[in-house]
A and B are shown apart, each in its own frame.
Chain A
Amino acid sequence: MLNISGTQINFLKVRVITFILSVILIFLSIGAFFVNGLNFGIDFKGGTLIEIETSQEIEISGLRDNLNTLELGDVQVQEFGSNKNLLIRVEQQLGGDQVQQDVVQIVKDSLGSYLSTDINFRRTEVVGPKVSGELIQSGAIAIFVAVFAMLVYIWFRFEWQFSLGAVLALVHDVILTIGVFCITQLEFNLPIIAAILTIVGYSMNDTVVVYDRVRENLRKYRSKEITDLLNLSINDTLSRTIVTSVTTLLALLSLFIFGGEVIKGFTFAMIWGVIVGTYSSIFVAAPLLRYLDVKREWNTTSAVDSTR
């Protein structure tokens, strides 16, 4: 029987190590962002994406060379899940929105004459410069708005110290998630923004549970040393944090393995986010409270969950 209850792990003792680790990871992420940059998909970069399925295996390099003679700029061809499924990406063409539309026909004609097998066009996406510019803008705004909304909500429900700690942990999670996409160079597209927003929600959810317990313990043990109190709160909620993370990861892993190629990037981001979010609730958000001078005198009657 799994029993994580009643642990007395001294999480705060390792806070210097975990803070240093977090700072290193953040710098790595920021560094990777400026060195590698994000590998934007067509949602944000514009261009054309065509997914085809063929009845026979295709020699990719030959096809790539052939498509690169079309004078459409950079054409990438990659396997997508199996060697009969190919993903063809054509970079955005100069000359505005209307020009992008011609690319599909040119590529289709060329594929038809170059490949001797049956071709099934499974997916075609064309995103013009206007829309891709807007998408990247609204994606960035969405993340900022979400983080800001969390800041306000926690401030409203707790105190500014909690709000600040929670948001620092959130920013940590977002930076690390963007960082892992810079380092792995996995495609960064619209669903990844959705994943980051969900991570923001999930990580906050985890943090709130710990904070809730910190607040409760602050009322309960008025004279307990803050470090011990934080340790106690993390340990109190540790079992829940682990169980929920495990169930969420089980569901996500299943989606990652069996859910198909199209949402693999999205699921990867979510899995990474759940791990980072769980880590940050325990090792970033809660220990930060030690430095933020939390209020000790809580008005016990005003709170919703009137603890004895």
Chain B
Amino acid sequence: MLYFSNLKIFSVLSVIIITLLFAVPNFFGKDQLETFPNFFPKQQVNLGLDLQGGSHLLLEVDTEEIIKERVENLNADVRRVLKKNNLNYSNFKVSNESLKFIVEGFNSEIQKEISELSMSNTQNILAMGDQTNLIITQEENTVQINFTEEFIKQSVSNAVAQSLEIVRRRIDELGTREPSIQRQGSSRIIIQLPGIDDPDRIKSLLGQTAKLTFQLVDTSVNFDPFNPSKAPIGSEILASDADEEFKYIVKKRIMVGGENLVDAQPGFDPQTNEPIVSFRFDRIGATKFGRVTQQNVGKPFAIVLDNKVISAPVIREAILGGSGQISGGFDSEEANDLAILLRAGALPAPLIILEERSVGPDLGADSIEAGQFAAIIGFIAVIIFMIFVYRYFGLLADIALIINLFMVLGVLSLFQATLTLPGIAGIILTIGMAVDANVLIFERVKEEIRNGSNMMNAVENGYKRALSTILDANITTLIAAIILFFMASGPVRGFSITLAIGIFTSVFTAFTFTRLLISFNAKRLKPNFVGLSKNA
């Protein structure tokens, strides 16, 4: 076990040196690294949000809302078909996922008509080759219509993908530094925002679906805006965005929608100097907008965002150029945010914030400082203790420990793993546990000497005997680290990473590096080198 071929010595040392090289960039500033030659690794350890400061948000797409919307559309489709065929229906029930009604004369013709209409209205969602998205069951005169499970899944999946894209656009518009936006599971989105410790603005930007519509104000009724009576059929009561108490009655029909916008920019009204958002429609939007404004000169036109009326200016003249402006008594930041929302587009469903974790830059820096200090003190304590117990061999183990620490850092940089506060704890724990492999070996060596072996044989056998114990013992800790890695997320996951890396590097250094050091000195070894007095 003490013999090393030159090739083996070379490969062991190369592995160690290469890993150590990857640790080096962490001790230099970014500017200094620029001056390094090209072949030199420049990656530094990725600091987690808890160390560099930043904000973590976990969002969920409100999938119920999507299904509800789908069922509502289906509801309209079905009623249209029934009406068209002059069928009288009763007991019409709309539940969370299905429609149910009693009708006479429902036949396969009508069934087909409903299927086709629903298919054509949801084309963009269906996967290629799907024959239908509905399950229609009939029992005498009772008809029940459900969406297929596949369709529901596809709808949700589409909405989540679309939400992800819109979230990304909204955050990019804010110019955040290196945001990370990822999908998690079937309906969740994780957002990591380094350097942002007060995500209020982002939360409010993400908290709005930003569905913009232009609807005509219903002028056929007189009403008290603070206490409106029931809206006429085809109209609805909407609150003002600026004042919840102030209500409008607007026609339900959407004249133009936000999906036809191509641009929105914040600005100032040249006359009043009030912040505004100017917008531009695409060709279809411009045509629709032109026609509506032409036919309704003198009437108020409501600009509605997420079911709240931003303003309802009176149309003075036909607007044919396809552009316009919104003023709603907002300040310049609000105008800016509204422009961002309009440019990025509307979310297909509301987003719910499930979790927020924000750390200020001070706390992160304090944590790094405290972690480093604790590591150094713990390190010194372990080094002294090892020399105290194992003398010369202890010193060798200490050298291996130092190498080991830098190797952990090197591997972290190499794989660009994220270092978190619990991750630092993992490294410090590794300091304590990394010597274990060497302790097991040294104890074996001592035992062999006590049983009468000479020094060389004792070391030789010590390594041989300790091998399986070391493997068994470290595999158990590794199993725990792997389970932790898969079950945890965020900072705690960082702990499992450093713990696992530490296990690998400590076993590696004990079996190669320390052994190599001992083999270099093999001829000069004496029992007191391993902490045994001569007469023991």
Contacts of B472 in A (CB 8 A): 157, 208-209, 212
Contact A236 to B447, CB < 8 A, known contacts A139-B487, A247-B385, A255-B425: yes
Contacts of A239 in B (CB 8 A): 443, 446
CB atoms of A145 and B197 under 8 A apart: no
Contacts of B207 in A (CB 8 A): 101
CB distance from B280 to the nearest CB of A (A): 33
Contacts of B139 in A (CB 8 A): none
Q: CB < 8 Å: which of A204, A254, A305 contacts B468?
A: A305
CB distance from A99 to the nearest CB of B (A): 10
Could you say which of B363, B375, B391 has the most chain A C-beta atoms within 10 Å of its C-beta? B363
Chain B residues 195 to 219 lying within 8 A of chain A, measured CB to CB, are: 197-198, 200, 203, 207
Give the nearest-CB partner of B528 in chain A: A1
CA distance A274 to B532 in the complex (A): 27
CA distance A104 to B367 in the complex (A): 23
Give the nearest-CB partner of B478 in chain A: A201
Q: A176-217 vs B: 1/0 string, CB under 8 Å?
A: 000000000000001101100110111011101100110000
Q: CB < 8 Å: which of B366, B428, B488 contacts A254?
A: B428
CB atoms of A255 and B378 under 8 A apart: yes
CA distance A87 to B492 in the complex (A): 21
CB atoms of B477 and A201 under 8 A apart: yes
CB atoms of B479 and A248 under 8 A apart: no
Contact A201 to B487, CB < 8 A, known contacts A249-B432, A258-B373, A260-B366: no
CB atoms of A263 and B360 under 8 A apart: no
CB atoms of A122 and B363 under 8 A apart: yes
CB atoms of B362 and A2 under 8 A apart: no
Chain A residues 93 to 130 lying within 8 A of chain B, measured CB to CB, are: 96-98, 100-101, 104-105, 120-128, 130
Q: Is B115 an interface residue (CB 8 A)?
A: no
Give the nearest-CB partner of A51 in chain B: B363
Q: Is B496 an interface residue (CB 8 A)?
A: yes
Q: CB < 8 Å: which of A123, A247, A252, A260 contacts B386?
A: A247
Contact A3 to B536, CB < 8 A, known contacts A194-B488, A212-B472, A259-B371: yes
Q: How many B residues have CB within 8 A of the partner chain?
A: 82
CB atoms of B435 and A259 under 8 A apart: no
Contacts of B421 in A (CB 8 A): 260, 262-263
CB distance from A147 to the nearest CB of B (A): 10
Q: How many A residues have CB within 8 A of the partner chain?
A: 80
Q: B427-446 vs A: 1/0 string, CB under 8 Å?
A: 01101110110011001001
CB distance from A98 to the nearest CB of B (A): 5
Contacts of A198 in B (CB 8 A): 429, 477, 480-481, 484, 495, 499
Q: B367-389 vs A: 1/0 string, CB under 8 Å?
A: 10011011101110110011011
CB atoms of B433 and A244 under 8 A apart: yes
CB atoms of B432 and A248 under 8 A apart: yes
Chain B residues 471 to 506 lying within 8 A of chain A, measured CB to CB, are: 471-481, 483-484, 487-488, 491-492, 495-496, 499
Q: CB < 8 Å: which of A6, A125, A247 contacts B358?
A: A125
Q: Is A266 an interface residue (CB 8 A)?
A: yes
Give the nearest-CB partner of A307 in chain B: B465
Contacts of A213 in B (CB 8 A): 469
CB distance from B187 to the nearest CB of A (A): 11
